[in-house]
Amino acid sequence: MLEIKDLHVSVAGGTEIIKGLNLSIPAGEVHAIMGPNGSGKSTLSYVLAGHEGYEVTQGSITYMGQDLLAMDASERAQSGVFLAFQYPVEIPGVQNGYFLRSIVNAQRVSQGEPELNPVEFMKKVKEVLKLVKLEPNMLKRSVNEGFSGGEKKRNEVLQMALLAPKLCVLDETDSGLDIDALRIVGHGVDALKGPERSFLVITHYQRLLDHVVPDKVHVLQGGRIIHSGDKNLALELEERGYEWLIEGQS
């Protein structure tokens, strides 16, 4: 599904943040990336989504056999890459329902399918609303504007469910959530798991991984993956922190 080889990334025209990262995620697997602040986790998620603020100076990213770096942000999204933002952007004046239908239709058009009319769309969205426990009135509000932290993250999972991506990148989707919201989000993500769908879950905490159980856990430090393990590694990190791994490196 995703093959990252010797990836080097700098802030456009500046500091190198990712310094030789290798990662391979087969279809159907859930991989978690943990690591201290500033280790390059969010940068990795932005690079995967196609943010132009970062410059790939070396290495390759292959997604479904294609060169991901040759595609722009919208092409990546249309071909099934989805980034659940750590800080979902508020867009005053763009109605959420309209926005959701637009992105669904943009994807359908790119795949040669007819657009959904509002009624067809509503049928589709109604089920998904239940999944993330959001009320239909949230479709009338502006995208993310005035949403609570939990609503924003649930809106991200809602979009993910609507677009049915192949590669889901979750950038600290658990941050800023209370226990109930975390359960809803975790349950929503878990429900989307499938043999054709891979997840890259970036998180600081073990708690999301209780709901979305990872096949592998990687530790990102200084722009490289310094350690990998199974789901028990997350538990160990929760208990011991990163120090022991970082010390082992140097």
Q: Which residues bind another protein (CB under 8 A)?
A: 49-52, 72-74, 76-78, 83, 85, 88-95, 97-99, 102-103, 106-107, 110, 118-119, 122-123, 126, 136-137, 139-140, 142, 159, 163
- Compare residues 73 and 226 and give the one whose CB is closer to another protein: 73
Q: Which is nearer to another protein, 84 or 209 (CB)?
A: 84
Check if the beta carbon of residue 132 is closer than 8 Å to that of residue 157. yes
Smallest distance from the beta carbon of 170 to another protein, in angstroms? Answer: 13
Rg over alpha carbons for the chain, rounded to the nearest Å, is 18
Using CA atoms, how far apart are residues 234 and 224, in angstroms rounded to an integer? 17
Judged by beta carbon, residue 7 or residue 47, the one nearer another protein is 47
Rounded distance between C-alpha atoms, residue 141 and residue 26, angstroms: 38
Cα separation of 145 and 179, whole Å?
Answer: 22
3 state SS of 151: helix
> What is the closest distance, in whole angstroms, from the C-beta atom of residue 125 to another protein in the complex?
8
Helix, strand or coil for residue 116?
coil
If you search the block for the tokens 């998620």, which residue do you land on? 45
- Closest CB 201 distance from another protein, rounded Å: 17
CA dihedral 87, 90, 91, 97 (to 10 degrees): 90
Read off φ and ψ for residue 218, nearest 5 degrees. Answer: -115, 145
Q: Least distance to another protein from the beta carbon of 159, Å?
A: 6
Min CB(107)–another protein separation in Å:
5
